[in-house]
Structure 1
Amino acid sequence: MVHMYQAFAFTSSVWTDFGEESTPIMAAAAAIASSSKGSLREDLTCAICCDLFREPVMLACMHHFCKPCISRYWRGTQGPVTCPQCRKEFSSKQFQTNYLVTAMVEKVRATTSDTYIKNLEKQLRETLESHRLKKEDFINSIRRDKDKIETIKKIGADLQTRVKGEFRALHQILQDEETCMLEQLKREQEEELEKVQHHLDAVELAVKGLEDNIRTLRQASATTENTVLSELPPLRPCVLVDTAPEFDINAFSNKYLAPLQYITWRKMFKSLKPGPSPLTFDTDTAHPSIHVSRDKTVAVECDAVVPYMDHSKRFLQCVNILAAQGFQSGRHYWEVEVGSKPKWDLGIASEAVDRHARIKLSPESGYWTLRLRNGNEYSAGTQPWTRLQPASSPQSLGVFLDCEERRVSFYNADDMSLLYSFTNGPRGKVFPFFSPCISGSSQRPQPIRLLHYPAVALSG
């Protein structure tokens, strides 16, 4: 009963502070609390002073009274005494202190004090407010999760449409290539058949002429038994037949027995959007410590300074070089072979970057790059640097630039796994950027090589 009282002994003003929705429940709880409180106080109230027990004692009849009250009630009484409640007589003034009731009274007295009630009301308000705030947090979390679900579904649907479109284009390329190759095969087959059929018709016509002549000669031979043959009978002129056309089975079959899948795959590069861009290095931008090959596809650091002409495009402080090809619209992809170089930087650079000063490679400075240091420390060119943990060390890297979506992505070209993607890409014209770096080791410097895929004309 004490615990029940503790749970519900609150004033009605506390309950009504938290909204109309909870008022009926709280009112019912207040009624239960009031009932419990009254019943408990009644059980722990002295029948003499009508107040909570003070030093409660129990008579032999099991009724309880305050020790001062029962002592005062029996004062002056000679002989037997009686219980004030049930009037039972006792031969002597005897009672027993009830420590359990004493504890209960102290508990009730403590829990009915103004300070206790106020503290409990405060705890109630704080707990209820805490639960309300938690509920709000959970509701907001549910709303955010539902928004995320809708976003994921929308993005997923958009990506599915895009993926289907990309593969539809590939399917169309393959379909067109298959149709073209089958038509070419049919055309060549018909040409060969026509040549053989033409010779066949000529031979058959010659055979028919010879058969007619043979018949005429036989008839003439049969008539010579009775008459003297004065001249040969008229014969049809023999048809001239060209030499039978040669049919080279190997020559006819080889192109269709070739590795068609590989040939078609190579042909597809020309139709890919974007296809691999055939980049070349711009020697006018090369730092004097960079040597560029004759075909402008290989760049390597060198100990001696390469003779160079002054040019406003040239990097003078950092060992950098740009590609000759720049982009400011569309989508573009290129691949760079780095091999086992322990140190390099590559990516794209804005046309307006300062070429004569040392600048940190970051989007704020006009660079979107990836870097390698110490042979295994890969980082994306943010400030601060973003460390990357590729599954394997790429020997070749692919760079994908989408000018419309302002996205720059880097791939391990060996397995096309994504290494990093900048979503705050450049505006305006940019150039592929490379830095073979100064290795500073005794080993022979290793080059950076631009990978090219030879263009192959599609069939037809």
Structure 2
Amino acid sequence: MASTLSLCVMCPVCLSDFNDPVSLPCEHVFCRQCITSYLESHEGAHKCPECRQNFTRQDLKGNRVLRNVVDVLQQQKLKTRQQTAKNAEEMLCSEHMEPLKLFCENDQRLVCLICKEGEKHRGHSFKPVKEAMEISEKVVREALRFILHDNKQMGDMILSQMLEITTSKERAKRLEEKMHVQFNKMHDFLRKKEEEMVRQLQKQASSAEVSMRQNASFLSKLQINGNNQESILESGLQMSQPERFSEWWSEKGFPLVDTITLSENKDIKSALPTKFKSRLDGTRVISDHFTLGPYETDLPLIVWRDMLGSVKQDLSDTSTIDKDLKLTIKKESHLQSQGEDYFAKFQKFHNGYKDNYVENIHPGQVYWEVDVGAEAGWEHGLTVRYYPKEKNVSVWQTLFSKCFENISLSVKNDRLYAVRGGEETPIVTQIIPSRVGVYVDSEKRQVVFCNADNMSLLHTVWCGDK
């Protein structure tokens, strides 16, 4: 019971009985001197060594009840020591039933005068009990002083460890907050990029749909006109009387037939016209000619590279991203057959692009980037050769033929032009990009030029749609 109570009145800092105990708002109790030393040795906000709750010097409250309990317990300990001393005065040798008046220094035990003369203690050194007690008390006091010093250091270490725990938690919290900010920034970038790409897709798809609907409306009108012509001609063929047929022919049949007759066959004096011009001449089905360039096939990789631009702004002075980091994408398909078109590009060597060195672009999608004005022969890097494929002709025969069309970008007088064959088309842009990406989709017969600095589309060419 006394041992359990002793633990309850022990200061968690000095590990001794409370001396003038004081309570904190969190109800933890410390010696006044221990908690005062803690306050004086730590700056800033003060936290309870036990629970880390904040407190101030004004929060220290003397705990009179606990102080009384400690006093009572110490009085009991004093009585116990006095009773022990009294019992020691009355202690008798269990062997000779004589008072234990001496202390054997060799065996470190009490002995009587008869024991001293006995064989067991021959040659040993002895001290009177009181004198031996004084010597041992000095040793005990030194040991106690040493342990108290160790305990104080241990208490300081405990406080320091608790502070380290608090510091670690606070640093982890700051890092977590910083991490949330950084990830939120990336999430915002990706969300805005997604919205931007969706808007661009919807705009291009809507524009393509308008063109296709207008064409469908035009074809519908042609069909309605054709149905009316069909009805008029069928109505004439249903007439059996020559007079009525001739009247119909004069009023309806001849004007209608005359409108669909080819001009070189309109001499009806010699014979009736037999060749007609089709309403399908000059009409076609418009394909969904809109594109997002490399975003269509490699969106994650392109967006990742886009995001590097925003990441660069948050890098420390000692952290860098290679400014020459270029993307190269190649997705080959094995669906190409004889009779389809071919594309080629100029080969790039360690010292740039060179004349007359071209390589076949395999079926599929290919993307590469060129630094404008910085790479040797950069104009060749922005040039794609388009070969309309002939049947029964090999790839090498095609590449060495002169039947090709150059599709490229050029810079003249600080303006950007798209060049196809000998035709130049000015591109409206505020600045000349420092890096241009070239995207070729041979399956769609599509060549796309991009501003690689921000991955915006510059110009698109649909080969075969001259």
TM range (shorter): 0.3 to 0.5
Give the TM-score normalised by the residue count of structure 2: 0.39
| Higher relative contact order (Cα pairs below 8 Å, separated by 6+ residues) | 1
Give the TM-score normalised by the residue count of structure 1: 0.40
